[in-house]
Amino acid sequence: MSNTDDATRATALPLAPRLRIRHAVLAAFTLACFAAAPGAKAQPQPGEPTAQGPLADPAQAVAVEIAMRVEGGSLVCNPDLARLPANEELTLQLVNGTDAVGVFAAPDFVAASTVASLVDVEEDRDAGAFAVPAGVTGQIVLTSPSDPGEYAFACAPAGEAASAQGILVVEE
């Protein structure tokens, strides 16, 4: 297939999928921010808060759970489409079922949300990403974006390009 065919096919996509792809690529680009660096600070023990603020309330239902695991040699995030209520305090649970630090990146979603607390998760606010240690379930208590819409996310092992992508749909 020629480059012209690729360009024609790319511009034939409706605007919403092109934006989702662009945002997913942006999220993938930011995932490298979590590459392990010499002299990095010590990791908190499982169950310890990783940021100031209230801990996840065990009585509060988890609104969305994103599970990262390896299938057929590739990292996958399930589900790849999740629905959330707009402007609600909720818990986003990230399950890392791999043997490496996993990164969940959703730059537009994080920028439009207010993060209250983190448990077993490290945040890179500038990248709109969260790192979850291998084999750990992390929780993010946040107020979801007030503007309904679709927010792209990507998952990857720390320091690698995104290998799984999805959409968080915020609804009224």
* 55-111: pLDDT as tens digits: 455 555 668 999 999 999 889 999 999 999 999 999 999 999 999 999 999 999 999
Any bridge partners for residue 115, and if so which?
142
Cβ pair 109, 145 in contact under 8 A:
yes
27 in a structural domain? no
13 in a structural domain? no
Q: What is the DSSP string of 75-91?
A: EEEE-SEEEEETT-EEE
The pLDDT value recorded for residue 80 is 94
Check which CATH number belongs to the domain holding 117 and give it.
Answer: 2.60.40.420
Count structural domains, the chain: 1
The pLDDT value recorded for residue 123 is 94
157 in a structural domain? yes
Q: Which strand (E) or helix (H) includes residue 20? A: helix 15-30
Q: Which structure tokens are listed for 44?
A: 């908190």
Q: How many CB atoms lie within 10 A of CB 29?
A: 15
Q: What are phi and psi of 23, to 5 degrees?
A: -70, -40
Q: What is the mean pLDDT of residues 116-143?
A: 94
83 in a structural domain? yes
User: What pTM was computed for the model?
Assistant: 0.69
Amino acid in the structure at residue 54? P
**The sheet that has 62-71: what strands, in order across it?**
74-78, 62-71, 89-96, 137-143, 114-119
* Domain coverage including residue 60: 47-171
Instruction: Please state, in angstroms and rounded to a whole number, the distance separating the CA atoms of residues 20 and 7.
Output: 17
21 in a structural domain? no
In angstroms, the first-to-last Cα distance of the chain is: 43
- pLDDT, tens digit, 9 for 90 and up, residues 4-26: 444 444 444 444 544 444 444 44
40 in a structural domain? no
**Distance of alpha carbon 43 from its chain centroid, rounded?**
19
Question: Which sign does the torsion angle of CA 41, 109, 61, 64 carry?
Answer: negative
78 in a structural domain? yes
Instruction: Please state, in angstroms and rounded to a whole number, the distance separating the CA atoms of residues 144 and 115.
Output: 9
59 in a structural domain? yes
